[in-house]
């Protein structure tokens, strides 16, 4: 064995293997959630080091010497460089911490190293919240942090793992009231101050600024949450659940792009609205776009929100954090007239229109020339001809619109919306494609809608002289179930086939139970996101105002008083708590002393237990073994660092079975 390894083993002699195993389990669990966030290479490298150290607990000869550890460090640095070529950024910084933690595991030589590993693990736990803030992850992190805290308790108190976990849990419960007060009242640092940590260019799924039918197909298989909407009054029926997103006006026949015109500023009276409005709150998930999805059509917009000339809602603030907006939308509206530039832009076509398409439009239009008549004819054409709705259409690389209309006749919302707009433009009527989300799953427990990427949808808008921009959804003509009932995400992912009914899934008890449990969990998570994760300066100001605190001096004074009172209360409660294990030992020792008192052997107040045992043994030698066994056990439990519950049971058993009279008979003989 190399000399360095021998020295290493000598230094580790006093580190108990159970402590190492307990620590390694905690460290392995705290890094595990990062497998969904970070590079597979970095996570794999960490767990190789982790397994190496775990094997070293049982076979110390496999642990690396200084040279091998140095080479492993170089390998870690090379791996980090290959992934980032830099040190800045959320992923890069987290990768460095995890790699350092893995290497430090191989370098454990003393208790000091154990402390450092624990502290690094706490840092890794904190980085998890930079990626996700769900309540499930929070519970998981608290559980693992309790085990890390228990490791520190074991190192300091030399107690068993069970007792250490109980103490750690108790400490957490004691800290919870103070943490709650600080969370509610302490001045908050808003997330934008930490924007430099965000990898803003990291790929995220969602709608794109360039629209092609395949993009909706890709999203149709994603269960990723986009936003939640909670309504003050009645939830709108499915036919009104159109969540407006990007609008596309320019096309080259394959791709569709947003307007190239300068976005005009909409006046306050940009709409003529009628009927009842929907009042609701939208909780948007973090995204890398400025888009906010609202029901058609929002009014009363306030900063940081703004409405573009094509009625898309935008956020000028930070979209890389979870945001909540209070909105009001009218489903019945009139957008007014078009200017010449808008008319030209929304009738634009590629340089060459296929004669077959022109012939189709002429046949559909017939003798009538109104846009309303052509709309009816196109929708009837989709319904009566052999058109099909599917998320797995055949490839249409060349002339996709013509191929779809005249050959394949199979597609999804993107195909129908683009084909419809194209036909309207060939006839000379302004039309455009609108993307966004349609529908949403209603959560009965929390009374809100969940909109996911699988709800991504595209529809058309046609400008009518007496109504302005009017929504026309060709998908409703060919597959009304898609609009009325939505799409079953789980079945799409499992089979790749479309099943429109979410309602019919609840036939089996198991599926029904799963749906109910999922809704309860999503409702809890929604409240967690709204009131904990999304607790802002504004909400704190409202709370303080309700408590009569209108300035920072009053707030800090109240914070100081509350924490002081709470700390005093905890102190009084803790000092009055009996030390259960040691007091139980004292009780049994007092029973032991009571038995000896019958012989006239009374322990003096200033006499130690050992001195008393010696005095009893001198007086009655036959009691020597039993008395000293009980005394040693009592002292070990009462004052020792390693407390074993079995020893307390043994003490109780020996005191119970101590038969003074029988021992005295032997003494007399």
| pLDDT (tens digit per residue) in 173-201 | 888 887 877 777 776 655 444 444 444 43
Give the phi and the psi of residue 22 in degrees, each rounded to 5: -60, -45
Residue 90 structure tokens: 């959320």
pLDDT at 171: 86
pLDDT at 498 over 50: no
Note whether 435 and 211 are within 8 A (CB): yes
Indicate whether 180 belongs to any domain: yes
pLDDT at 279: 94
Question: Whole-angstrom Cα distance, residue 51 to residue 338?
Answer: 68
Stretch among 107-111, 126-130, 292-296, 308-312 having the lowest mean pLDDT? 107-111
For the ranges 214-223, 278-287, 514-523, the one whose mean pLDDT is highest: 278-287
Q: How many domains does the chain have?
A: 4
Q: Which residues are catalytic?
A: 413, 457, 473
In this structure, the answer to whether residues 162 and 16 fall within a common structural domain is yes
Stretch among 176-180, 526-530, 633-637 having the lowest mean pLDDT? 526-530
pLDDT at 434 over 90: yes
> In the chain, what are the helix, strand and coil shares in percent, each to the nearest 5?
55, 15, 30
What value does the mean pLDDT take over residues 13-17? Answer: 54
The answer to whether the Cα torsion of 77, 83, 89, 95 is positive or negative is negative
pLDDT at 328: 93
pLDDT at 379: 92
pLDDT at 584: 79
Question: Whole-angstrom Cα distance, residue 603 to residue 615?
Answer: 9
Indicate whether 496 belongs to any domain: yes
Indicate whether 512 belongs to any domain: no
pLDDT at 13: 44
In this structure, the answer to whether residues 92 and 155 fall within a common structural domain is yes
Among 570, 545, 549, residue whose Cα is nearest residue 558: 549
Among 193, 204, 205, 199, residue whose Cα is nearest residue 84: 199
Stretch among 78-92, 390-404, 437-451, 496-510 having the lowest mean pLDDT? 496-510
In this structure, the answer to whether residues 331 and 472 fall within a common structural domain is yes
| Residue 337, number of CB atoms within 10 A of its CB | 9
What value does the mean pLDDT take over residues 21-31? Answer: 90
Question: Whole-angstrom Cα distance, residue 100 to residue 560?
Answer: 39
pLDDT at 380 over 50: yes
In this structure, the answer to whether residues 627 and 647 fall within a common structural domain is yes
Backbone dihedral region for residue 89 (phi beyond 0: left; psi -120 to 50: alpha; all else: beta): left
Task: Report residue 369's pLDDT band, with 50, 70 and 90 as the boundaries.
Answer: confident
Stretch among 1-5, 108-112, 463-467 having the lowest mean pLDDT? 1-5
What value does the mean pLDDT take over residues 410-415? Answer: 86
567 against 306, higher pLDDT: 306
Question: Whole-angstrom Cα distance, residue 277 to residue 299?
Answer: 9
β strands within 271-408, DSSP E: 272-274, 278-284, 291-292, 294-295, 298-299, 305-307, 313-315, 323-329, 332-334, 388-389
Question: Whole-angstrom Cα distance, residue 464 to residue 466?
Answer: 6
Q: Is 123 helix (H, G, I), strand (E, B) or coil?
A: helix
> What are the residues whose beta carbons fall under 8 Å from the beta carbon of 35, sequence distance 6 or more?
43
pLDDT at 425: 93
Note whether 247 and 285 are within 8 A (CB): no
What value does the mean pLDDT take over residues 525-543? Answer: 73
Task: Report residue 230's pLDDT band, with 50, 70 and 90 as the boundaries.
Answer: very high
Q: Is 183 helix (H, G, I), strand (E, B) or coil?
A: helix
What value does the mean pLDDT take over residues 518-540? Answer: 74
Indicate whether 530 belongs to any domain: no
Q: Is 148 helix (H, G, I), strand (E, B) or coil?
A: helix
In this structure, the answer to whether residues 228 and 347 fall within a common structural domain is yes
Task: Report residue 253's pLDDT band, with 50, 70 and 90 as the boundaries.
Answer: confident
Residue 495 structure tokens: 């089979």
In this structure, the answer to whether residues 569 and 587 fall within a common structural domain is no
Q: Which domain holds residue 545?
A: 537-576
Residue 619 structure tokens: 């007086």
Per residue in 589-624, pLDDT (tens digit) is 888 898 888 888 888 877 888 889 998 888 888 888
Average pLDDT along the chain: 80
In this structure, the answer to whether residues 290 and 421 fall within a common structural domain is yes
Question: Whole-angstrom Cα distance, residue 492 to residue 506?
Answer: 16
**pLDDT above 90 coverage of the chain, percent:** 20
pLDDT at 33 over 70: yes
pTM: 0.65
Task: Report residue 158's pLDDT band, with 50, 70 and 90 as the boundaries.
Answer: low
pLDDT at 549 over 80: no
In this structure, the answer to whether residues 595 and 565 fall within a common structural domain is no
Task: Report residue 625's pLDDT band, with 50, 70 and 90 as the boundaries.
Answer: confident
Indicate whether 520 belongs to any domain: no
Indicate whether 526 belongs to any domain: no
Question: Whole-angstrom Cα distance, residue 216 to residue 219?
Answer: 5
Indicate whether 139 belongs to any domain: yes
Q: Give the largest CA-CA distance in the chain.
A: 132
Question: What is the crossing angle of helices 645-657 and 580-597, to 10°?
Answer: 10
Task: Report residue 550's pLDDT band, with 50, 70 and 90 as the boundaries.
Answer: low
The alpha helices in 33-160, defined as continuous H runs, are 40-58, 66-84, 90-105, 111-128, 135-157
> What are the residues whose beta carbons fall under 8 Å from the beta carbon of 450, sequence distance 6 or more?
225, 228, 440, 441, 443, 522
Question: Whole-angstrom Cα distance, residue 42 to residue 53?
Answer: 17
Residue 96 structure tokens: 């460095």
In this structure, the answer to whether residues 334 and 428 fall within a common structural domain is yes
In this structure, the answer to whether residues 589 and 572 fall within a common structural domain is no
pLDDT at 264 over 60: no
Among 444, 454, 445, 459, residue whose Cα is nearest residue 500: 454
Task: Report residue 246's pLDDT band, with 50, 70 and 90 as the boundaries.
Answer: very high
Q: Domain boundary residue among 507, 526, 558?
A: 507
What value does the mean pLDDT take over residues 366-375? Answer: 84
**pLDDT above 70 coverage of the chain, percent:** 81
Chain-centre distance for alpha carbon 183? 19
pLDDT at 497: 42
In this structure, the answer to whether residues 475 and 603 fall within a common structural domain is no
In this structure, the answer to whether residues 179 and 252 fall within a common structural domain is no
Indicate whether 525 belongs to any domain: no
Q: Domain boundary residue among 467, 490, 507?
A: 507
């Amino acid at each position: 064995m190399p000399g360095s390894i021998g020295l290493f083993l000598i230094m580790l002699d006093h580190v108990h293997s159970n402590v190492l195993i307990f620590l390694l389990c905690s460290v392995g669990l705290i890094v595990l959630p990062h497998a969904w966030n970070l590079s597979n290479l970095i996570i794999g490298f960490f767990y190789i080091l982790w397994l190496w150290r775990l094997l070293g607990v049982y076979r110390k000869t496999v642990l690396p010497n200084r040279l091998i550890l140095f080479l492993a460090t170089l390998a870690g640095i090379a791996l980090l460089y290959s992934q980032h070529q830099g040190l800045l950024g959320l992923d890069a910084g987290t990768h460095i911490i995890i790699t350092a933690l893995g290497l430090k595991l191989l370098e454990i030589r003393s208790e000091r190293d154990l402390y450092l590993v624990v502290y690094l693990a706490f840092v890794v736990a904190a980085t998890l919240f930079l990626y996700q803030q769900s309540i499930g992850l929070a519970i998981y992190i608290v559980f693992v942090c309790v085990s890390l805290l228990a490791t520190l308790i074991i190192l300091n108190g030399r107690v068993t793992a069970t007792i250490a976990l109980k103490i750690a849990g108790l400490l957490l419960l004691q800290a919870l009231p103070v943490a709650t007060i600080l969370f509610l009242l302490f001045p908050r640092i808003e997330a934008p101050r930490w924007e430099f940590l965000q990898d803003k260019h990291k790929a995220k799924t969602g709608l794109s600024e360039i629209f092609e039918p395949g993009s909706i197909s890709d999203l149709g298989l994603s269960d990723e949450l986009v936003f939640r909407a909670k309504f003050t009054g009645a939830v709108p029926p499915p036919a009104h659940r159109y969540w407006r997103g990007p609008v596309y006006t320019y096309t080259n026949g394959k791709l569709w792009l947003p307007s190239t015109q300068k976005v005009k500023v909409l006046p306050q009276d940009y709409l003529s609205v009628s009927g009842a409005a929907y009042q609701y709150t939208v909780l948007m998930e973090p995204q890398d776009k400025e888009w906010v999805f609202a029901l058609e059509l929002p009014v009363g917009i306030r900063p940081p929100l703004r409405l573009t000339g094509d009625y898309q809602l935008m956020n000028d603030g930070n979209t890389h954090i979870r945001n909540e907006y209070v909105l009001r939308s009218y489903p019945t509206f009139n957008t007014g007239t078009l200017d010449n530039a808008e008319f030209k832009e929304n009738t634009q076509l590629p340089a060459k229109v296929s004669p077959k398409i022109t012939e189709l439009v002429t046949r559909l239009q017939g003798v009538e020339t109104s846009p309303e008549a052509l709309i009816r004819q196109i929708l009837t054409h989709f319904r009566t001809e052999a058109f099909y709705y599917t998320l797995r259409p055949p490839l249409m690389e060349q002339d996709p619109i013509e191929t779809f209309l005249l050959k394949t006749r199979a597609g999804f919302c993107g195909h129908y919306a683009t084909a419809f707009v194209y036909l309207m433009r060939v006839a000379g009527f302004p039309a455009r494609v609108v993307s966004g989300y349609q529908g949403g799953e209603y959560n009965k427990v929390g009374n809100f809608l969940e909109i996911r990427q699988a709800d991504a949808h595209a529809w058309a808008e046609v400008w009518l002289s007496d109504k302005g921009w009017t929504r026309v959804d060709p998908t409703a003509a060919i597959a009304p179930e898609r609009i009325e009932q939505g799409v079953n995400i789980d079945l799409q992912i499992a089979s790749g086939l479309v099943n429109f009914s979410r309602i019919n899934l609840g036939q089996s008890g198991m599926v029904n139970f799963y749906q109910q449990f999922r809704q309860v969990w999503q409702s809890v998570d929604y409240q967690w996101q709204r009131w904990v994760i999304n607790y802002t300066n504004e909400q704190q100001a409202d709370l303080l105002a309700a408590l009569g605190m209108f300035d920072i001096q009053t707030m800090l004074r109240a914070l100081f008083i509350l924490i002081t009172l709470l700390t005093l209360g905890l102190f009084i409660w803790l000092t009055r708590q009996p030390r259960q294990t040691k007091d139980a030992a004292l009780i049994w020792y007092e029973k032991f002393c009571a038995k000896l008192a019958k012989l006239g052997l009374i322990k003096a107040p200033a006499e130690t237990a050992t001195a008393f045992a010696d005095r009893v043994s001198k007086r009655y030698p036959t009691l020597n073994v039993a008395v000293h066994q009980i005394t040693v056990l009592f002292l070990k439990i009462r004052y020792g660092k390693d407390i074993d519950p079995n020893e307390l049971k043994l003490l109780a058993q020996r005191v119970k079975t101590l038969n003074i009279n029988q021992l005295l008979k032997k003494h007399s003989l």
